[in-house]
Each structure stands twice: as structure tokens, then as C-alpha cells.
Amino acid sequence: MTAITSRAKLQIFLFNWRRRQELGMILLSALVVSSAYVVVSVARSAKIPANLSVFLGAVILLSLSAHLAIRWLAPLADSVIIPLVSLLNGLGYVIIVRLDVAFSKPFAPYQAAWTAIGVFAFILTLLVLKNLRDLDRYRYLFGLTGFILLLSPLVPKLGLRENGALLWIHIGSYSFQPVEIAKLCFVIFFASYLSQNKEMLSTGTVRIGRLFFPDLRALAPVGIIWLVTMAIMGLEDDIGFALMFFVVFIAMIWIATGKYSYLVIGAILFVGAMFAGYHLFPQVAERMTAWRDPFKYPNTIGYQPIQAMIAMASGGLAGTGLGLGHPSFIPVANSDFIYAVIGEELGLFGTTAIASAFLILIGSGLRVAISARSDFVKLLVTGMTLTLGFQSIFIMAGIVRLLPLTGITLPFVSYGGSSLVANYILVAILIKASDEANNKRLIKGYISSFAA
């Protein structure tokens, strides 16, 4: 009995220490965000903002709400994820406040409201999800829901075209991007399908050179996803999310089967999709042309990448300072190009800090996936983490011209309610998976102590 009690006390102490670490990091992120808010106000009016206490209280209240929900509903979860999300979300809000002044548009209040809704969605997800494996039973419902959401912008008088892409739907005075929720539904469907069929998918029956490929029935999912990718690009003039869906699926099927042949097939289909898209869809051709040499078209398709590059170059190492840049020259500065604004006003140090935060967040998600106890949850968490990671990488790489511009938002940082709510739900799934994995470790510790 003494062995059980002592080991249990040690494990409980370590897990409780995680919550104290989490609280400390949340307060530190609130301090960083509030300091940035003060700097923006001082740069604008040389005065400390009058509503600083209200702003600080709101930042701490939202972060503490998420923290208390974790203490109550997922007490054994990872302690790093929520502080990183709070930091990214808070800094993004400060940049949007700064841009509201430059463009004389009140986006910040809407972003604050959507952040509150996102935190509420985070808490509600933890409350509703008792066991992540329950999602496995509704795989086809999630798959069907994903396709309906993905195709809903094509419905006449419902879809709304913005910045060349038909990704929005509007109901009355409200509009949102259904693709943000669709990406979660598809990852759940992918995880369920792959965990159920990984044996068939990993058995190679056709040999080409040194590689063994599965039969056509097993390759059908890859072909279907490729066709869906092409359909999205063609019908909705979307590049970013179409490629993200395809890349995430190929990565998940590779992780599920361990077969490099799927990477080869995926790479061939990826190049084929880009080649076909370049010749069939004008928007894809414009993005590729602007990526290769934007200076040939400085006033048309090359304007966006050129202004982003100028902003990044102007920032140098330390930046011009918050509130002291010229974001009015940067197109779609509060959404697609917010990373360029950060590059100008916070410099290489600021952009590196943001990129590092995303890397740590992705690493934390993959660590949760490794500790998952079932194939479904492992693939689910991997898919969610890769979705967050590829979305971040695509937009940051597009700004610095490592990749063509994709037109997707930087998670938690860019303006956008649909993205915020969807990504908070995504993070709630990661938190729940981490809690379940550590709970099983705790139970295993009890059994080991009893055996000793």
C-alpha cells in the first residue's frame, strides 16, 4: 500500500506541476501581449492607453478561462499548448489594433469577439468530448459534413467571392469560411479510414523497380483526394486549402502505413496537379507567374509579393518598431499578409519568434500523437497537428517567396473568425488527446506500483 501511495503522489505532483507551469506561462504571455499593446499606443499617441487595465483583464480572463477548463476537464494535459496559443492570438490582436489605426477600419473589436467565441468553442469541445475514440464511430458523417461544407460556397446566392476565391458563404449580414470547419471533419474521416484500412493500404502487390505499390483498390483514396483537390481549385479558385488537404492526406497515409511509395505517388500527383492547374485555371497560373518573377508585373499580379518583400527587407533584424512601419502599402495586411507586417515592425527577430512558436506548437502536437494509445487517436492528432503546421508553413513561406502565395490565414494571428474558432476546436482535440494519454500512463503507474 505504501508503494502505491508514494508513486501515485509523485505522479499526481508532477501532473499538478504542469498546471502551475501552464498558469505561469499564460501570465507571462499576457505580460508580453500587454507590453506590445502599450508600445503600439505610445508609438501612435505618445500616451499609455487609457483602457490598458481593461485590455489586460480581458486577455487574462480569456486565457484563464481556457486554463481553468483544462484543470477541470483535462487536468493531465500538456502544459505548453495553451500558453503558445494565447501568445500567438494576443500578438495577432495587437497587430490588428495597430492596423485599424493605419487603415481606419474597426477590425479589432470583431477579432476580440471571435477570440471569445473561440475560447468558448474550446471549452465546449472539452466538455462534449468524453472520449476521442467516440469520433471514430461517426467517420462517414464527418466525411459527408466535410464535403457539404466544402461545396456550400458553390450554392447560388449563398457563396461569396473575396480576393478571387469562392470560399465564403453569407447568411444575412454574417459570413464565414466553411472550409475551416471542413478541414477538421476531413481529418477525422481520414484518421478513421486509415486506422481501419492500414493493413490493406500497407500491403504492396505491384512491384516497380525497387518499390512495391498497393493494388488499385488501395490507391483509390489517393486518386479521389487528388480529384477533389483539382475540383476545389477549378470550381472555387482556391489553391491554399486544396493543396493543404492533399498534402495532409498524403502525410497521414504515409504515417499510417510506413510506405514511402505513397510519398512518391503523392509527389507525382502533386506535380501533376500544379501542372494541370497552371494550364487550366487562370488564378493558379497568376500565382505561379507572380512567384517566379513578380518584378515583371509590379502593378498587377506582382504587386502583393513585391510589397511583402519590401516590408520584410525594411524591417531588418530588429524592425522599425511596433506602430512605426508603413503597413498601408501592404495588401490584405490584417489577414493574408500579416506576417509581412510583423517582419517590417518586429524584424527578423519577431518573425523568427512567431515561426519558433509554431514549431514548438507543432512539436507538442506530434509528441501528443506519439503518446496516443490507439491508432485512430494517433492519426487524428497527427492530422490535426499537420493541418495546423502546413497552414502556417504555407502562408509564411509564401510571404518570403519560398512557395507561391496560397491566400490562407496564419492560424491564431491573422484576422478571421472562422479560422479562430476552427483552430481553437483543433487545439481542444490536442489537449483532450494529451489528457487521455497521460491518464493512461497514470493508471499504468498505479498498476506497476501495485505489482511492485
pLDDT at 309: 92
**Consecutive 10-residue averages of pLDDT for the chain (452 residues):** 50 70 92 90 79 81 92 90 94 91 83 93 94 90 86 77 69 78 90 84 69 66 74 71 85 87 82 81 82 88 90 91 87 88 94 95 94 90 94 91 84 90 95 87 55 49
Q: Distance of CA 246 to CAs 167, 233, 315, Å?
A: 17, 12, 34
Given this model, what pLDDT does residue 10 score?
55
406: nearest Cα among 419, 392, 420, 421: 392
Give backbone dihedrals phi and psi of 411, rounded to 5 degrees, phi first. -50, 135
pLDDT at 121: 96
**Residues found in the chain:** 452
253 vs 193: CA distance, rounded Å: 10
- Radius of gyration (Cα) for the chain, nearest Å? 23
Quote the CA–CA distance of 78 and 359 in Å, as a whole number.
15
Is the dihedral angle over the CA atoms 406, 392, 63, 424 positive or is it negative? positive
SS3 at position 203: coil
Cα distance between residue 152 and residue 166, in whole Å:
10
DSSP, res 330 = S
Grid cell in block for residue 373: 494509445
Question: Where along the chain do its domains lie?
Answer: 129-280
In Å, how far are 280, 297, 326, 332, 434 from 313, measured between CA atoms?
Answer: 34, 19, 12, 18, 40
> Quick one: which of 149, 145, 22, 113 has its CA closest to 74?
22
Q: Who's near 183: CB < 8 A, 6+ residues apart?
A: 146, 241, 244, 245, 387, 422
| Helical spans, DSSP H, in 46-73 | 52-73
For 426, the enclosing helix (H) or strand (E) is helix 417-451
